Structure 1
Amino acid sequence: MPILPLPSLLLLFFLLPFHVISQSTTTQNDQNILLKIKSFWSNPPSLNHWNQSSDPCSWPEITCTGTNITGITVVDQDISGTVPPFICDLKNLTVLDLNYNDITGNFPAALYNCTNLRYLDLSQNYFVGKIPDDISRLSPELRYLSLFGNNFSGDIPASISRLSKLSSLQLHQTLLNGSFPQEIGYLNDLEELNLSFNKFTPSRLPPSFTQLKRLRKFYMTEANLIGEIPGNFSGMPAMEILDLSFNRLNGSIPRDLFLLKNLTQVYLYENNLTGEIPDSIQALNLKIIDLSANKLTGEIPEGFGNLASLTNLTLMYNQLSGEIPTSIGRLPSLNDIRIFANKLSGELPPDFGRYSVLKIFEVNQNQFTGNLPENLCYSGKLIGLIVFSNNLSGEIPNSLETCGSLRVLQVYDNRFSGKIPDGLWKVSSLDKMMMSDNSFSGELPSELAPKLSILEISNNKFSGEITTGVSSWTNMRVFKGSNNLFTGEIPQGLTSLPNLATLLLDGNQLSGQLPATILSWNSLNTLNLSKNQLTGQIPAGLGFLKVLSVLDLSRNNLSGQIPAQLGRQLVSLDLSGNKLAGAIPAQLDNGAFDKSFQGNPGLCSNNPVLGLNSCSSRPQTEQSRKISGKSVAIIGSIAAILMLLAVIMTGYVIVLYRRRKHGFNSNWKFTSFQKLTFTESTILPRLNDNHMIGQGGSGKVYRIPVNRSGDVVAVKKISTRKDLDLRLEKEFLAEVEILSMIRHSNIVKLMGHISCDNSKLLVYEYLENRSLDRWLHRKQSPPNRGLTGSVRHVVLDWPKRLHIALGAARGLSYMHHDCCPAVIHRDVKSSNVLLDGEFNAKIADFGLAKILAKGSELTAVSTVAGSFGYMAPEYGQTLKVNEKIDVYSFGVILLELTTGKEANDGNEHSSLAEWALQYALGGDPIEDVLDKDVREPMYMNEMSSVFKLGLWCTSRLPANRPSMMEVCQMLLRCGPAMVVGTRKSGQDVVDHLPLLKLENV
């Protein structure tokens, strides 16, 4: 090693200390700045390790280059306040990541002084205001900019295009409601662009965007795009992912889109696209194609059969026709195909499942013919086989006997025949087996799949006796076996199924007596045994089933009297065509059941509406027959006087009947909103206690039969108390105005209203299953104790709860997003969610609803009105509201559905929403708080997802809550993968819900 000369050694001796001192000083200065930042943020506990005694370069949030601090990454650390104005005193700062905190204020202009900044992430905080027009003053070296999940509003400034080195721009899920500039298309280095889930003014996609040569990932989901998709995708050779779903795009799919060779994922679902799918395909790396819910026509391109990497093909809800290309059945990676609700025909390719790990196969609601492919479960991973409403024939493949993964089998409404493979009945994971409306034959097995909850086999040729082994079907909720060839008696074990809610065995050849003892029908809601050969008496035990609301035993050979206990909860009853005798029980002796007893000559009633023989008086005693002549004369005189008074007072009696007996005057006006077969004269005489089904703060609700066909309506009579007149008049007018204006399958239908000077009647469609809260919180049902002494409550199973949640969400989404102007309900709660016979949810009670003045702007209300536990925090603090108060209330319903608790059932100091948030923050497993009556391993992910969605909806800040449109999307994805229309499993939603930090809600 050479020896340095003395002058050089001296120079090194003098320079070295100064060099070391200089580095040490720089580090100390940066450390002081960091400690000042910590102090500015009020010394959060998560940064306690930031102190003078340790090296900042050892702190996990700090990145150093040499001795210079170049990066701060403080993510999810409970940071509140604003961005320190002196943060750019760290002159070498290149990375600043403050993602997922509670930082507030406008966009921090202090960051303009960070001249070396390359990476800036301020996402998922509480920034407000506009993105500044001079945002281009940020470092010209900036590569990554993420502002998503904040409360920015207004436009995206055109100056953002001057940040010419940007490679990633993340502006999704904010409150941006202005425009986005076409100049973004000039960012030549841009690789990722996400503008999804904003409320931009209706805008066309700028052609300049299709010239981003380096863009790999492009997301504009639900960004209010209109018009056609620009062509010339050849200018985007690097494109890998394109998501333009949930917009209002029309026209055809550009022919050059599938020519992009790097393309792997395409999402264009929920638009108004028309025309054919382009058949020129060179993007052979495509993994996911989702073109569902458009208006596409023509055939599925043959070229799809060349996509060896394709895993998901989703084309549902279009108007596609022709056959499925045979080559698609041989795709080696395909695991999810959903092409239902089209006009496809021909035979299904026989190789489906033979060469790939097929999991979801949904081809229902088409015109397919021929047999089911034999190898659908060849890999043993098939979860959902859904082929209903086609013209398929032949037998069910024997290979499904060993398909241990199968959860849902829906083959109803086809032309299948033969016997069901023995092993298929017993597949361990099977939950739903729906095979109605075919020509299946054979007998029911004594053993079924242990998890099977729905068995629908109506309108087939099943025969034999219902096995005594039915008592082992403990998870069964729905058993529909109508119109088959079953014989023998109804086994006692059938009444021991504790979860059974619907039992339909009508139209068979069952005989013998009904089981005398009802063991465990605690959940039974609907029982139909009509059109059989049953004999004996109606068991009195049916009268003690508190949930039973529909009972049909008609057209049998039943005899004896109708049990006096029957009718406490019934809303539909048919005992016609039997041999029953005796008097109608008092609870059933009213016009609501005017057709329930026909064809029973031995029955009698003193109510002429029922059309039965009058019940005779009891035989007179010997003493009563010894009436003296004097008594006869006195009685005769009294009778004559009464007759004279009757003649004189006839007019007065009529008025008294009209005005006092029913509490109305005669000046009625009936306004209908559709063609009706009844008038006010049908309604008014029946407004009595025999028809009353409920009572609330606004008045009474009645169930009124309106014709001989059995049609009924619900009538709400507005109270006439003087102290409520003004408020109730406003509620009446609000409900009439709104419900006469809007129409949706998930909003209760207002058929008309009847009014006079001092009374108001609202006439609605009648919904058999009443309100959701009656099912979730049925307090009137007495406990039913089993051997262990535990209390079993009446419950809705989880799939039905999820179905109800989605229906109610769709109703609210229609009000918020599709009505013009938008409507806010202001009193969303489980008692205002009504359920029809199929448990379809409908939003009701619009007395407090408000029409928004302009879109989603805040609307002033004169008073705060609502229900405790459901009211959003800001509603009690301001008289200006928007649709986010409905979102909060709906979130409470989601928490009710998942936990089983009531809205005001948190603890002695909090509501359900507050309690749920504190529980989640405590870190305990969410599974522990889910309703134990419905949580099962197969539903845990879904329930957890909906619980988290409930927390998101009940965020303290309105801006942090999702829209009801987003809620609908999330609920669709929360269901199991085979639910029609879903795209993600429940676990996917758990992973993707924007609830990475629960405190932010």
Structure 2
Amino acid sequence: MAKILPPLFFSILISLPFTVISQSSDSDQAILLNLKQQWGDPPSIQSWNSSSSPCDWPEVICTSGRVTGLFLPEKNITEKIPATICDLPNLTVLNLAWNYIPGEFPTSLYSCSKLQYLDLSQNYFVGSIPGDIYLISSSLQYLDLGGNNFSGDVPAALGNLTELKALQLYSNLFNGTVPREIGNLLNLEILNISFNGDLIAAQIPPEFGKLEKLKEFRMRGSKLIGPIPATFSNLVSLQELDLGYNNLEGKIPDGLFLLKDLRNLYLFRNRLTGEIPITVEALSLAEVDLAMNNLTGSIPPDFGKLSNLTVLNLYSNQLTGGIPASLGLISTLRGFRVFKNKLNGTLPPELGLNSELEGFDVSENQLSGALPEHLCSKGMLQDVIAFSNKLSGELPEGLGNCRALRTVQVQDNSFSGELPEGLWTSLNLSALMMSNNSFSGQLPSTRLASNLSRLEISNNKFSGEIPVQVSSWQTLVVFKASGNLFSGKIPVELTSLSQLNTLSLDGNRFSGELPTQIIAWGSLTTLDLSRNELSGYIPTAIGSLPDLLYLDLSGNKFSGQIPSELGHLRLNSLNLSSNELSGKIPDVFDNLAYENSFLNNSNLCANSPILNLPSCYTKINSSHKLSSRVLAMILVLSIVVFLVTVLLTFFVVRDYRRKKRGHDLATWKLTSFQRLDFTEFNVLTNLTDTNLIGSGGSGKVYRVSTNCPREFVAVKRIWNKKELDQKLEKEFNAEVEILGTIRHSNIVKLLCCISSENSKLLVYEYMENHSLDKWLHGKKTRIMAGMALAQHVVLDWPKRLEIAIGAAQGLYYMHHECSPPVIHRDVKSSNILLDSEFKARIADFGLAKILAKHGEGQPHTMSVIAGSFGYIAPEYAYTTKINEKIDVYSFGVVLLELTTGREPNSGGEYTNLAEWAWQLFGEGKNINEALDEDIKKTCYLEEMATVFKLGLICTSTLPSTRPSMKEVLHILRGYGLSDGSDVKKVGSEFDIAPLLNTATYLSSYKRSKKVDDSIVYSV
């Protein structure tokens, strides 16, 4: 991505002297060719050769035949800057941005005596900016050191570069202070110190108020505290102000953007006569961003006097009072975002009437009244976001003609009436979210908006049928229409929506049978049709939906048997309760995981008593009761005789089978990895359906009792009636190879393996509390704790944190203490098992890979992609080169699950949980709102927010910006109660801010470069 040149660059070029220089440019050519050689002759500057003039080279700027500028951004330069570059006597402009230049600040540039423009941004410089930087060219006007890894203090010596017009220090790792001496740069027009979250928390130096020529001031995410200085009223030239994502407090000063009490200054400078106005409007201010602070008080009415204001961002503060009516009079206003405050009153009716408003977000306040009628009067409005207020009335009719609209989010208000007709068909609309209001009307029978991907209209008063024209809604991904008055049949055309991910039509009046054929629901993960009047059989086609995770058909009138095809699904939640179903429960559901799935179906039965359903055997016999007492006695007697005969036969056959089994056991091979108190006989005789506790892609898992009382083992059975599948064979061998050689308290113990010609058994220690995902995402069913049942038990935060630490210790051991390292490749909450004390164990190493002959952090080539959707690192999806960072990404998703309670694929309009979390963070929303409501307590908010941020860093798009498991564990242990026996603490407590700033910045620019981990961040 080419960097856009600042206007100052061109002003410097124009100011270059055009004096005639008689010297030949041959010396400049020799210097540049030598420079090219010292840089390793990069292919990007192959046009530099001895047969042409340097002034003809595209990267070179000449004035009067002499080289005055080098423009070399994104040239893949990987070596340091040679001192010989200053041998160019007229060098004025040097741009080396977006390269890979390492090392400390190049003090050799002090010899470039005519340098006016220096851009070293987006490289790999480290260390402190030298305190003698004032020795650089005294004529320097532009200095950009952003996007590097400079640390320490921002040096006070920068205040001596008095000719500076632009100073860019954004996105570094400064961990000291920002000096007040910068206020001495009276010519400064641009000052950017944003995204330096490791700075010492401090107030904005009041001396910055002396920068009267300053046009852009940005200190976003730089740990600012205290009030906004009153001296900022002196910034008469300010056009853009960004102080977002800090901890500023107090009120927004009434005179912040107005020149007050300047009578003496005007008199002193100009010796004017007559009356001088006490208040003069600062008309130049165009962008104001004070979002994500702790500002209080009301929005000053003086904002309305800023006649050039285009963007006003005040969101995520503690502002109260109303929105000044004067804001609706600003003709230049484009973006207005005040969401997540405590604002009340009505919205200014003139908003949008006088300006080409594009962005409008007032959500999560206490506003009342109607939306302004003229929001889209200029036709440029893209976003209408007003959810979670007390707004009422109908939506403005003008929104129906607003062709630029992309999203309308007005859920959780008191709106009523029908939607503007044109809103349904708006060409660019992608999200229409209006749940929890009192809207009425019917779905349109015309073609829906062609780009609509999200339609959420739950809990309103919509009625009528779903029209057959629903087949034209081909871009729809989420359709939520719960709690309305819809009726009629569910049309077969609805099943043709190939991109549909979520369909929730529960709580309506739908009737009739479901479509028996599912045409294109290959992407569907959630299907909720509960609490309707649907009847007939459950279609067997539902069992063919490959990605379905949640199925709720409860509270209807479905009859007949449960299709055995449903057993092919990998459901996280199944609810078929309160219907008229009959017959036998499919065997795959005959276990405790589905205990609440079949309630209130009086004609259902099961083979085992686990689900508290009638026995199918008893059910059959109860339908043939004899009315005659004599016949009943005869029947009972016959049964007794039959049972005696069966028992005698059983004992005879048992003795025979025991003898035969002694011979069959010889075909099984037991390989033990530690001392055992059971034999293969104990295991093989207990692999029954009543002991089944789970199943996965590679086999079934059983709980088997050992010889010791109340002690169990878990047995994973990999079985094929023919020959053992080659893939499963590899998984079996991988698990035996890895678990048979490594020992760690946070990795599940493989006790032994038992194998025969066509069956493999892996025997582990038994985890009484099963897997983490059952505790996080199993709220609709009872959760197993040993053999006892706990109704709706929720893991509190201390337990979740200790689970995270335990799992991190296991991964740390695999990555850093195993030689060679081990990559798990399938880290997820269902592969983190919990013992009776909720101590975490990493399990399921079927996909694990030992990185033989590869150093730690080095990529390893894989022939196939493996893992679980929602946990797979992005680079793993498009390259066969992997390293430990794919486990770090997956573990980051687990951290997001632990803090939010959300599932890995619950990204809503985004692909997965990680994308949803990054979007929330990128929009500057309050992290606390994302945390799991079930466990959120004030005393834990800081810890939970930190672990959430750590999850963000671990799921960064670029592998190089993710921390190692050593660093992840170090951060977690700073908050947990672990004894730390697995890793030694090094240095001071690890701060998450530099990692997060770097990851945020690089992700926002989608930088596709390989970054050395040791440079991007350090422990």
Structure 2 distance, partners of 1:220, 1:825, is 41
Q: Give the aligned residue type for 2:331.
A: P
Instruction: Note closer, same or farther for the CA distance 1:733–1:231 as it changes in structure 2 (3 Å cut).
Output: farther
CA deviation vs aligned residue, 1:678-734 (integer Å, no higher than 9, x gap): xxxxxxx999534345779xx9799xxxxxxxxxxxx999x9999848955343699
Q: Give the aligned residue type for 2:612.
A: G
Q: Give the aligned residue type for 2:138.
A: P
Alpha-carbon deviation of 1:903?
0.8
Q: Give the aligned residue type for 1:520.
A: A
Q: Give the aligned residue type for 1:32.
A: A
Q: Which residue in 1 is equivalent to 2:324?
A: 325
Contact residue 525 and residue 548 of structure 1 kept, 8 A = yes
TM-score normalised by the chain length of structure 1: 0.64
Instruction: Note closer, same or farther for the CA distance 1:375–1:958 as it changes in structure 2 (3 Å cut).
Output: same
Q: Does 1:574 align with 2:588?
A: no
Alpha-carbon deviation of 1:134?
2.9
Q: Does 1:163 align with 2:161?
A: yes
Instruction: Note closer, same or farther for the CA distance 1:291–1:535 as it changes in structure 2 (3 Å cut).
Output: same
Q: Which residue in 2 is equivalent to 1:122?
A: 120
TM-score normalised by the chain length of structure 2: 0.63
- Return the match for 1:764 from 747, 760, 772: 772
Instruction: Note closer, same or farther for the CA distance 1:121–1:724 as it changes in structure 2 (3 Å cut).
Output: same
Q: Which residue in 2 is equivalent to 1:653?
A: none
Structure 1 distance, partners of 2:575, 2:107, is 74
Structure 1 distance, partners of 2:76, 2:644, is 97
Instruction: Note closer, same or farther for the CA distance 1:952–1:583 as it changes in structure 2 (3 Å cut).
Output: closer
CA deviation vs aligned residue, 1:877-912 (integer Å, no higher than 9, x gap): 69xxxxxx9xxxxxx9999999997716526x7899
Structure 2 distance, partners of 1:614, 1:97, is 80
Alpha-carbon deviation of 1:113?
2.8
Q: Which residue in 1 is equivalent to 2:612?
A: 611
Q: Which residue in 2 is equivalent to 1:852?
A: none
Alpha-carbon deviation of 1:542?
1.8
Structure 2 distance, partners of 1:288, 1:604, is 68
Contact residue 895 and residue 913 of structure 1 kept, 8 A = no
Instruction: Note closer, same or farther for the CA distance 1:183–1:541 as it changes in structure 2 (3 Å cut).
Output: same
Alpha-carbon deviation of 1:541?
1.7
Structure 1 distance, partners of 2:247, 2:823, is 29
Q: Give the aligned residue type for 2:184.
A: Y
Q: Give the aligned residue type for 1:337.
A: F
Alpha-carbon deviation of 1:227?
4.4
Q: Give the aligned residue type for 2:523.
A: S
Q: Give the aligned residue type for 1:591.
A: L
Q: Which residue in 2 is equivalent to 1:906?
A: 879
Q: Which residue in 1 is equivalent to 2:354?
A: 355
Q: Which residue in 1 is equivalent to 2:403?
A: 404
Structure 1 distance, partners of 2:190, 2:868, is 36
- Return the match for 1:32 from 26, 30, 33: 30
Q: Which residue in 2 is equivalent to 1:101?
A: 99
Alpha-carbon deviation of 1:566?
1.9
Structure 1 distance, partners of 2:40, 2:643, is 101
Q: Does 1:953 align with 2:958?
A: yes
Structure 1 distance, partners of 2:298, 2:30, is 68
Instruction: Note closer, same or farther for the CA distance 1:27–1:193 as it changes in structure 2 (3 Å cut).
Output: same
Structure 2 distance, partners of 1:832, 1:127, is 34
Q: Which residue in 2 is equivalent to 1:596?
A: 597
Q: Which residue in 1 is equivalent to 2:145?
A: 147
Structure 2 distance, partners of 1:763, 1:123, is 47
Residue ranges of structure 1 left out of the alignment (5+ in a row) = 1-21, 262-279, 643-662, 667-684, 703-714, 735-755, 771-810, 836-843, 850-864, 879-884, 886-891, 915-932, 975-988
Q: Name the SS for the 2:108 alignment partner.
A: helix
Contact residue 961 and residue 1011 of structure 2 kept, 8 A = no
Q: Give the aligned residue type for 1:162.
A: N
Alpha-carbon deviation of 1:253?
4.3
- Return the match for 1:88 from 65, 86, 89: 86
Structure 2 distance, partners of 1:49, 1:499, is 49
Q: Which residue in 1 is equivalent to 2:692?
A: 689
Q: Does 1:729 align with 2:744?
A: yes
Instruction: Note closer, same or farther for the CA distance 1:95–1:726 as it changes in structure 2 (3 Å cut).
Output: same
Contact residue 876 and residue 882 of structure 2 kept, 8 A = no
Contact residue 79 and residue 101 of structure 2 kept, 8 A = yes
Q: Which residue in 1 is equivalent to 2:286?
A: 287
CA deviation vs aligned residue, 1:767-820 (integer Å, no higher than 9, x gap): 8889xxxxxxxxxxxxxxxxxxxxxxxxxxxxxxxxxxxxxxxx99xx99xx9x
Q: Name the SS for the 1:566 alignment partner.
A: helix
Instruction: Note closer, same or farther for the CA distance 1:392–1:584 as it changes in structure 2 (3 Å cut).
Output: same
Q: Name the SS for the 2:543 alignment partner.
A: helix
| Aligned-residue CA RMSD (Å) | 5.6
Aligned residues: 766
Moved more, 183-192 or 539-548: 183-192
Moved more, 404-413 or 180-189: 180-189
Q: Does 1:112 align with 2:110?
A: yes
Instruction: Note closer, same or farther for the CA distance 1:319–1:71 as it changes in structure 2 (3 Å cut).
Output: closer
Q: Name the SS for the 2:452 alignment partner.
A: coil
Structure 2 distance, partners of 1:895, 1:196, is 37
Q: Give the aligned residue type for 1:605.
A: A
Instruction: Note closer, same or farther for the CA distance 1:248–1:733 as it changes in structure 2 (3 Å cut).
Output: farther
Contact residue 233 and residue 257 of structure 2 kept, 8 A = no
Q: Give the aligned residue type for 2:536.
A: G
Alpha-carbon deviation of 1:627?
8.1
Instruction: Note closer, same or farther for the CA distance 1:690–1:955 as it changes in structure 2 (3 Å cut).
Output: closer
Q: Give the aligned residue type for 1:729.
A: H
**Correspondences of 1:241-256 after superposition (within 5 Å):** 241-254=240-253, 256=255
Alpha-carbon deviation of 1:358?
1.9
Structure 2 distance, partners of 1:757, 1:832, is 19
Q: Give the aligned residue type for 1:689.
A: L
Q: Does 1:876 align with 2:854?
A: no
Structure 2 distance, partners of 1:143, 1:309, is 27
Contact residue 869 and residue 912 of structure 1 kept, 8 A = no
Contact residue 903 and residue 911 of structure 1 kept, 8 A = no
Contact residue 289 and residue 312 of structure 1 kept, 8 A = yes
Q: Give the aligned residue type for 2:744.
A: E
Instruction: Note closer, same or farther for the CA distance 1:540–1:229 as it changes in structure 2 (3 Å cut).
Output: same
Contact residue 453 and residue 477 of structure 1 kept, 8 A = yes
Q: Name the SS for the 2:31 alignment partner.
A: helix
**Correspondences of 1:281-320 after superposition (within 5 Å):** 282-320=281-319
Structure 2 distance, partners of 1:23, 1:420, is 73
Q: Give the aligned residue type for 1:553.
A: L
Structure 2 distance, partners of 1:546, 1:88, is 64
Contact residue 311 and residue 336 of structure 1 kept, 8 A = yes
CA deviation vs aligned residue, 1:590-649 (integer Å, no higher than 9, x gap): 2222222222222222332323222126779x9x9998999887768899999xxxxxxx
Contact residue 952 and residue 995 of structure 1 kept, 8 A = no
Q: Does 1:585 align with 2:553?
A: no
Instruction: Note closer, same or farther for the CA distance 1:244–1:633 as it changes in structure 2 (3 Å cut).
Output: closer
Percent identical pairs in the alignment equals: 42
Structure 1 distance, partners of 2:484, 2:877, is 48
Structure 2 distance, partners of 1:522, 1:593, is 24
CA deviation vs aligned residue, 1:14-55 (integer Å, no higher than 9, x gap): xxxxxxxx9765644444333333333344444444444444
CA deviation vs aligned residue, 1:317-338 (integer Å, no higher than 9, x gap): 2333333222322322222222
Contact residue 239 and residue 260 of structure 1 kept, 8 A = no
Instruction: Note closer, same or farther for the CA distance 1:309–1:24 as it changes in structure 2 (3 Å cut).
Output: closer
Instruction: Note closer, same or farther for the CA distance 1:47–1:688 as it changes in structure 2 (3 Å cut).
Output: same
CA deviation vs aligned residue, 1:430-457 (integer Å, no higher than 9, x gap): 2222222222222222222222222222
Alpha-carbon deviation of 1:202?
0.8
**Correspondences of 1:337-736 after superposition (within 5 Å):** 337-447=336-446, 448-569=448-569, 570-616=571-617, 688-693=691-696, 724=739, 727=742, 729-731=744-746
Q: Give the aligned residue type for 1:93.
A: L
Structure 2 distance, partners of 1:110, 1:538, is 77
Instruction: Note closer, same or farther for the CA distance 1:599–1:629 as it changes in structure 2 (3 Å cut).
Output: closer
Structure 2 distance, partners of 1:324, 1:443, is 35
Q: Which residue in 1 is equivalent to 2:795?
A: none
Instruction: Note closer, same or farther for the CA distance 1:963–1:377 as it changes in structure 2 (3 Å cut).
Output: same
